[in-house]
Amino acid sequence: MQASTVTNTNQDSWGGGGAKPLDAGYGKLMMWFFIVSDALTFSGFLVAYGFSRFKNIDSWPIADEVFHHFPFLHGVDAPMYYVALMTFILIFSSVTMVLAVDAGHNNNKNRVAFYMLLTIIGGAIFVGSQAWEWKNFIKGDYGAIEIQNGEILQFYDLKKQKRISIDEFYISSNQERITHDDNVGIWYQSEAKLPEITLNEVMTGFNNDMNLTVRLEKLDETGHKIVLSRDEAEIKLSSATRVVKGANLIRNEYGNPLFADFFFFITGFHGFHVFSGVILNIIIFINVLLGTYEKRGHYDMVEKVGLYWHFVDLVWVFVFTFFYLV
Amino acid sequence: MAEQKHKLEIFRGRLKFKSNVQKIWGVLVFLSIVTAVEVALGIIKPPVLLNYFLGVKILNWLFIIMTIIKAYYITWDFMHVRDEKPFLKNTIVVPLLILIPFLLFILLYEGSYIFDIMFDGLKTWNFDIY
């Protein structure tokens, strides 16, 4: 095992492991120290999320309203089921990883390879699911209006007593405004991509249907978004500046920009960990198939990468709680 | 390596498994049950649990406790910290147990302080037209 360290001493070292400190190999110890530091990085991110949330406690977006998609169930309101499924997939791939480590302790090459393959598949499904989640988040579904002071106003149908998408009520102006590119203007300036629905079209649609009103970012005492009366909504909307559809790092239709920023950053950083975990697993898988560890006489590398993989699972358990549940 | 010892009981010895593989499946069942309870609570949101306790909803306290329980079983059984020497266990767990609650306390306290300032301070932060 200790290919490069001297182990011929008979002295007991510290930490209670005979000749080996803490009774753990060098690589395993280093993996543990990396995990501890990475755990602190992630807790830094999650605590920063908590900070921003406590700072905007009366106007934070409601996760159930944001993440309510499920594959093949279009238009069905299914909050959290999909993330719960993702959590289960990741925990399950963690289990196949432990089984691979266990098979490694018994020097059973075929079983290690089989369980490693299952782990890789689980990880790939998870990364794919996260990409789908991002797609829905970026695309958005209801659309909203941003007003002068930066507030996001979402539309609400008083008759049906539920939210309404801007796609459902805007009135097309039948005008086409072509995106201004730098090759046609005098000052060689271009503009950002135009929204598919303009502010004017939304406002015409709004003025046309008296049942429509807006919802504020602010929450009432019961934790629901405050719905304004029609008159109040008209005053608010008089300072409308743009249509917001979906999410990016600058603004999003769900409310506070920080919400989307933390979503992209935390789940993105975690997704990157899963991705690199899958790559490491593939490398180990190939090595197992080639018989590298069988020749070496032990499967410690599987155990080390396994520790990393479980850590990724562990982080997801916390992200799941603090982003989707709490 | 083949003769490596595994501790096979969980729940403080109340449940003892025959082999390591069996223990892994047992822990998976336990973790799945906890996750299912979390999701069920998150969807039903029982009104009783929406009351506040120490500034946080009881429901959210339950979520946090269940998360920590899950984290414990993932590290102890999947990352087999249960089989490590006590010295290594402490090396891993103690720094996290000291630093994370510390950071959590400072930033969450500061966050709610800033909220209070912006909420009932003398200045306005929102230059809305009305």
**For A68, nearest residue in chain B (alpha carbons):** B43
* Token representation of residue A146: 């941003």
Strands (E) in chain B, as ranges, are 9-10, 15-16, 52-53, 56-57
> Quick check: A313 contacting B, CB < 8 Å?
yes
Nearest CA distance, B17 vs chain A (angstrom): 15
Q: Mutate which of B57, B88, B116 to disrupt the A interface (most A C-beta within 10 Å)?
A: B88
C-beta separation of A247 from A255 below 8 A: no
Q: Is the pLDDT of residue A39 over 80?
A: yes
Record: contact B114-A102, CB cut-off 8 A: no
Q: From the list A54, A84, A107, which residue is nearest B111 (CB)? A: A54
- Write phi, then psi, for A37 (nearest 5 degrees): -70, -35
Q: Could you tell me the pLDDT band of residue A150, with boundaries at 50, 70 and 90?
A: confident
Q: Specify the pLDDT at position B3.
A: 43
> Quick check: A96 contacting B, CB < 8 Å?
no
CB contact set of A150 (below 8 Å; sequence gap of 6+): none
Nearest CA distance, B85 vs chain A (angstrom): 6
**For B129, nearest residue in chain A (alpha carbons):** A239
Q: Specify the pLDDT at position B84.
A: 83
Query: pLDDT tens-digit profile of A233-245?
Result: 998 898 899 999 9
As a whole number, mean pLDDT of residues A247-274 equals 93
C-beta separation of A84 from B35 below 8 A: yes
Claim to verify: residue B25 and residue B56 sit in the same structural domain: yes
CA A67/CA A74 separation, integer angstroms: 13
Q: Is the pLDDT of residue A107 over 50?
A: yes
Claim to verify: residue B73 and residue B108 sit in the same structural domain: no
Claim to verify: residue B94 and residue B119 sit in the same structural domain: yes
Q: Is the pLDDT of residue A47 over 90?
A: yes
Claim to verify: residue B77 and residue B107 sit in the same structural domain: no
Domain that holds residue B68: 1-83
As a whole number, mean pLDDT of residues A123-149 equals 92
CB contact set of A159 (below 8 Å; sequence gap of 6+): A211
Q: Specify the pLDDT at position B71.
A: 93
Claim to verify: residue B4 and residue B49 sit in the same structural domain: yes
CA A154/CA A202 separation, integer angstroms: 12
Q: Specify the pLDDT at position A1.
A: 46
As a whole number, mean pLDDT of residues A135-157 equals 91
Q: From the list B50, B86, B103, which residue is nearest A47 (CB)? A: B103
Claim to verify: residue B53 and residue B10 sit in the same structural domain: yes
If one counts the domains in chain B, the total is 2
- Work out the number of other CB atoms within 10 angstroms of the CB of residue A166: 24
Counts for chain B of helices (H) and strands (E), in that order:
3, 4
3-state secondary structure of A248: coil
Q: Specify the pLDDT at position A24.
A: 77
| Average pLDDT score over chain B | 83
Counts for chain A of helices (H) and strands (E), in that order:
11, 6
Q: Could you tell me the pLDDT band of residue A51, with boundaries at 50, 70 and 90?
A: very high
* Token representation of residue A17: 């492991």
C-beta separation of A308 from A31 below 8 A: yes
CA A210/CA A224 separation, integer angstroms: 23
Query: pLDDT tens-digit profile of A153-176?
Result: 999 998 888 889 888 888 887 777
C-beta separation of A155 from A225 below 8 A: no
**For B115, nearest residue in chain A (alpha carbons):** A55
> Quick check: B74 contacting A, CB < 8 Å?
yes
Per CB-CB distance under 8 Å, the chain A contacts of B31 are 91
Q: Is the pLDDT of residue A16 over 70?
A: no
Record: contact B111-A95, CB cut-off 8 A: no
Q: Could you tell me the pLDDT band of residue A2, with boundaries at 50, 70 and 90?
A: very low
Bridge-based pairing of strands A162-163 and A225-227 is unpaired
Claim to verify: residue B76 and residue B123 sit in the same structural domain: no
Q: Is the pLDDT of residue A183 over 50?
A: yes
Q: Mutate which of B25, B39, B62, B90 to disrupt the A interface (most A C-beta within 10 Å)?
A: B39
Q: From the list A53, A91, A106, which residue is nearest B2 (CB)? A: A106
Nearest CA distance, B54 vs chain A (angstrom): 14
DSSP letter at A72? T
> Quick check: A40 contacting B, CB < 8 Å?
yes
Record: contact A321-B35, CB cut-off 8 A: no
Per CB-CB distance under 8 Å, the chain A contacts of B50 are 223
Q: From the list A44, A314, A325, which residue is nearest B42 (CB)? A: A325
Window 57-86 of A: residues touching B by CB (8 A cutoff) are 57-58, 64, 79-81, 84
C-beta separation of A274 from A61 below 8 A: no
Query: pLDDT tens-digit profile of A276-295?
Result: 999 999 999 999 999 999 89
Query: pLDDT tens-digit profile of A184-226?
Result: 766 777 776 666 788 888 899 999 988 899 999 888 888 889 9
Query: pLDDT tens-digit profile of A52-76?
Result: 999 998 889 988 888 888 887 776 7
CA A112/CA A299 separation, integer angstroms: 9
Q: Quick one: angle between helices A81-105 and A109-139, nearest 10?
A: 160
Q: Could you tell me the pLDDT band of residue A10, with boundaries at 50, 70 and 90?
A: low
Q: Based on C-alpha coordinates, what's the Rg of chain B?
A: 21
> Quick check: B88 contacting A, CB < 8 Å?
yes
Query: pLDDT tens-digit profile of B16-71?
Result: 788 888 888 999 999 999 999 988 888 888 887 777 777 778 888 999 999 999 99
The answer as to CATH 3.90.190.20 being correct for domain A26-140+259-325 is no
As a whole number, mean pLDDT of residues A298-307 equals 91
Q: Specify the pLDDT at position A189.
A: 72
Q: Specify the pLDDT at position B123.
A: 67
As a whole number, mean pLDDT of residues B77-89 equals 86
Q: From the list B24, B84, B107, which residue is nearest A47 (CB)? A: B107
Q: Specify the pLDDT at position A66.
A: 87
C-beta separation of A146 from A236 below 8 A: no
**Number of residues written out for chain B:** 130
Q: Which residue has the tokens 């991509």?
A: A193
| DSSP per-residue codes, B76-106 | IIIS-GGGS-HHHHHHHHHHHHHHHHHHHHH
Q: Specify the pLDDT at position A274.
A: 96
Per CB-CB distance under 8 Å, the chain B contacts of A43 are 96, 99-100, 103-104
Q: From the list A17, A36, A317, which residue is nearest B96 (CB)? A: A36
> Quick check: B28 contacting A, CB < 8 Å?
yes
Beta-bridge partner residues of A167: none
Domains of chain A, by residue range, sit at 26-140+259-325, 144-245
Q: Specify the pLDDT at position B126.
A: 67
